[in-house]
Structure 1
């Protein structure tokens, strides 16, 4: 035992230091304290990198550390996001047999039909309270289960949500490691995801369900590689029914599956997505849901890159914010880019398909009007199967976007936004144009970590 401790002395110290920093993040951090926020975040990145570097072949130790880091947050209230209050609100509505897509919290608060409504309403924020829910039906099912298991306790619901997300990360470890093995890539790359402090903080800490969504997406890709496309399509539908973003990848499957199977895949996926939505469908549902989704293209702005440049030009030329014009146009550009990418011959192989997926979601985020930190979960997971590292670098820098919380009026520091994207674009440009001969579609296949 003594010899074992001596052999792993430094990794043990790194593990204990990480535990202390995660505890401070979970229980002793105010999001307005930027120095502490940035300091803890940066330190955790360094500690995780060193731990992975020193113990890259010790899967039991690394996986155990990943689970312990997540369990530290188990009874903590999220301190960087208030979205979970809306999750619980929607879940409680579901338990009362009320369709959460038909009413906003603002409309219900005068005569709330759920226990603890005032606390949830006052805590979720004006933006969430004033708009219809945009969370797809399978996500709503998790919210309802958490509300049921949590009873009248908010922390009980939080613990339930957190356990769902931790369980999803366990599934990602299983499918991710096996898919890496089948692609002849280093299996320890799965820890680029599992030990990334960004993933631990944004998913387990802040309760965002992108982790559950990418679990279904990853499982779909795994069974797609196993040529079990029927099961793959069902899992893909589950992913879409947690978050809509995987819809972006559907056109890319055309060359991989070929025409007949691709059409069958699309049809089966559409059927199961419709099946999930079926209990909620009504005329009011379509009105509210399309309006809610449309807000992301025509109203909301946060941590954008190219859009902010366009907005600046719009103010100079027109004298007002042109988001209502620029948002939809940028969405169309993303759609056309993905369609063009879907015809590339490299999509016939899974490594090429994964690389196309990475650049599709990256272009989507680069052109988006709103890029919350947790939006990086999808490209980060996909990136470990391609070898491109600009997304892990982005996951370190994305914490700069939280500088907005330090301002009473929630104003962004555009210098920090510019720094974030200059580094990301610079690093991506280096990888694309300097490190590969056919950059956008070549998937590095190095056996190194």
Structure 2
């Protein structure tokens, strides 16, 4: 037995720890070649660690914590959004409603409503500072906690925000393992999320709050599997109140509650059978309405402390910007945009941005009623493809958005989101240019690799379905 074979796991852990340390404290976002080297090296190490037959689950959990703690005292180097998080939290602490004012207004008027006003505005940048905040209330609560513990130190606020995200990831690990066990799936699947370098870097490192959203989402699905749908609805509302994206999932719960296939079955049935089917369907519809009612009521209650007529207008305008103004790392949208340039001579984002949400809604309706979503695995697969369809047609796909399809994939047969988290790094080539500019060749390479793997998986799983059937 060679030295490498004997100590392979130890070497992989040490190399990973060193690379994460370099990534956290020495990497510049503009150094794209260095970024690529660290990124692909960490993915290689992560794959070998998860696949290792000599590392047990307890050790992997230890690595989940260790690799995240390496980032504890680092200032995020791939994103500046955290400055706005800190700003919002301190505004709430000072008694201001963060949804009603723009950071740039205070700067223009020479006002300093919170500590380190100038530094925070400079950090978030003019574009961020000129828009109303769009972070929902539980996300704002996280920002407030950071302000409570460190209202005069950006560094201290970063540490507090990071600890919240680490705790959320540990919660995902806890409930994710429980859900995998209930679904009779390998527990090790959860580490495709928990030990994925993309998650460690983008969430723990760059302070994106998807893990808090996903903690509530996975907990909700776990409770739904246990038939505790009231608590599941409350938890789903909490997830929406961190990030709005789970709102897309609401139609897909229909078949979980309603035996749609049963009541549309055209086979000959006795009167008693038809009666039982319709009674069951009525009970299911009643529960579904209750599920939706509890979800929306909880969301409204969580938003209520910030309510005002100005809030509704500001929040709607802020969310609308993602469909009408922003474009980054898009897939089919960039193709539609080029076609628009060809025929109209200018950017059609205002029109395309309105069409793509309609396409998403139609796709969600199709997979809600024309695909089996009765089992939990079928339901989560529907959630995965519903969300990915939205991202495939969206005008903006920031890297951290992929946390949701990634965690959903570990409960399904599909692994293409793992490949996506690997190749999403190509989108960061835009920051290597001065001024900032996307290179569509890199974007094209990202999606080419993704779609090749997606088609491969779809064909493989279709063949498996035919064999099983």
Q: TM-score normalized by structure 2?
A: 0.91
The equivalent position to 1:95 in structure 2, one of 78, 83, 93, is: 93
Whole-Å separation in 2 of the counterparts to 1:92 and 1:62: 37
Report what 2:170 is aligned to.
Answer: 170
Give per-residue Cα distances to partners, 1:225-269, cap 9 Å, x unaligned. Answer: 000001101100000000000000000001102211111000000
The equivalent position to 2:105 in structure 1, one of 101, 104, 107, is: 107
Instruction: Say if 1:56 and 1:188, in contact at 8 Å, map to a contact too.
Output: no
Report what 2:350 is aligned to.
Answer: 324
Give per-residue Cα distances to partners, 1:128-148, cap 9 Å, x unaligned. Answer: 100000000110010011111
CA apart distance, 1:435: 3.6
Alignment pair present for 1:404 and 2:404: no
Whole-Å separation in 2 of the counterparts to 1:414 and 1:148: 43
CA RMSD of aligned residues (A): 1.5
Instruction: Say if 2:147 and 2:157, in contact at 8 Å, map to a contact too.
Output: yes
Give per-residue Cα distances to partners, 1:341-360, cap 9 Å, x unaligned. Answer: 11135211111101100100
Of structures 1 and 2, the larger Rg is shown by 2
Alignment pair present for 1:383 and 2:409: yes
Instruction: Say if 1:305 and 1:421, in contact at 8 Å, map to a contact too.
Output: yes
Whole-Å separation in 2 of the counterparts to 1:182 and 1:344: 26
Report what 2:261 is aligned to.
Answer: none
Alpha carbons of structure 1 residues 148 and 55: separation in structure 2 relative to 1, 3 Å:
farther
Instruction: Say if 1:256 and 1:353, in contact at 8 Å, map to a contact too.
Output: yes
Report what 2:391 is aligned to.
Answer: 365
Instruction: Say if 1:31 and 1:37, in contact at 8 Å, map to a contact too.
Output: yes
Alpha carbons of structure 1 residues 356 and 174: separation in structure 2 relative to 1, 3 Å:
same
Instruction: Say if 2:143 and 2:161, in contact at 8 Å, map to a contact too.
Output: yes
CA apart distance, 1:436: 2.4
Report what 1:334 is aligned to.
Answer: 360
Whole-Å separation in 2 of the counterparts to 1:225 and 1:397: 33
Give per-residue Cα distances to partners, 1:258-303, cap 9 Å, x unaligned. Answer: 2111110000000000000001111100110000000000000000
Report what 2:156 is aligned to.
Answer: 156
Instruction: Say if 2:90 and 2:151, in contact at 8 Å, map to a contact too.
Output: no
Give per-residue Cα distances to partners, 1:80-132, cap 9 Å, x unaligned. Answer: 00000000000000001100000111112221210100000011012110000
Report what 1:47 is aligned to.
Answer: 45
The equivalent position to 1:288 in structure 2, one of 296, 309, 314, is: 314
Whole-Å separation in 1 of the counterparts to 2:106 and 2:233: 37
* Superposition pairs of residues 132-143 of structure 1, within 5 angstroms: 132-143=132-143
Whole-Å separation in 2 of the counterparts to 1:233 and 1:154: 36
CA apart distance, 1:56: 6.9
Structure 1 unaligned spans of 5+:
445-449
CA apart distance, 1:197: 0.1
Whole-Å separation in 2 of the counterparts to 1:335 and 1:357: 13
Whole-Å separation in 2 of the counterparts to 1:71 and 1:387: 31
Instruction: Say if 1:255 and 1:348, in contact at 8 Å, map to a contact too.
Output: yes
* Superposition pairs of residues 69-80 of structure 1, within 5 angstroms: 69-80=67-78
Report what 1:447 is aligned to.
Answer: none
Report what 2:10 is aligned to.
Answer: 12
Whole-Å separation in 1 of the counterparts to 2:53 and 2:427: 31
Instruction: Say if 1:55 and 1:62, in contact at 8 Å, map to a contact too.
Output: no
Report what 2:57 is aligned to.
Answer: 59
Give per-residue Cα distances to partners, 1:188-241, cap 9 Å, x unaligned. Answer: 000000110000000000000001101100000000000000110110000000
CA apart distance, 1:387: 2.0
* Superposition pairs of residues 306-321 of structure 1, within 5 angstroms: 306-321=332-347
Whole-Å separation in 1 of the counterparts to 2:405 and 2:416: 10
Instruction: Say if 1:11 and 1:55, in contact at 8 Å, map to a contact too.
Output: no
Alignment pair present for 1:419 and 2:445: yes
Q: TM-score normalized by structure 1?
A: 0.95
Whole-Å separation in 2 of the counterparts to 1:83 and 1:280: 21
CA apart distance, 1:335: 1.0
Whole-Å separation in 1 of the counterparts to 2:119 and 2:351: 37
The number of equivalent residue pairs is 437
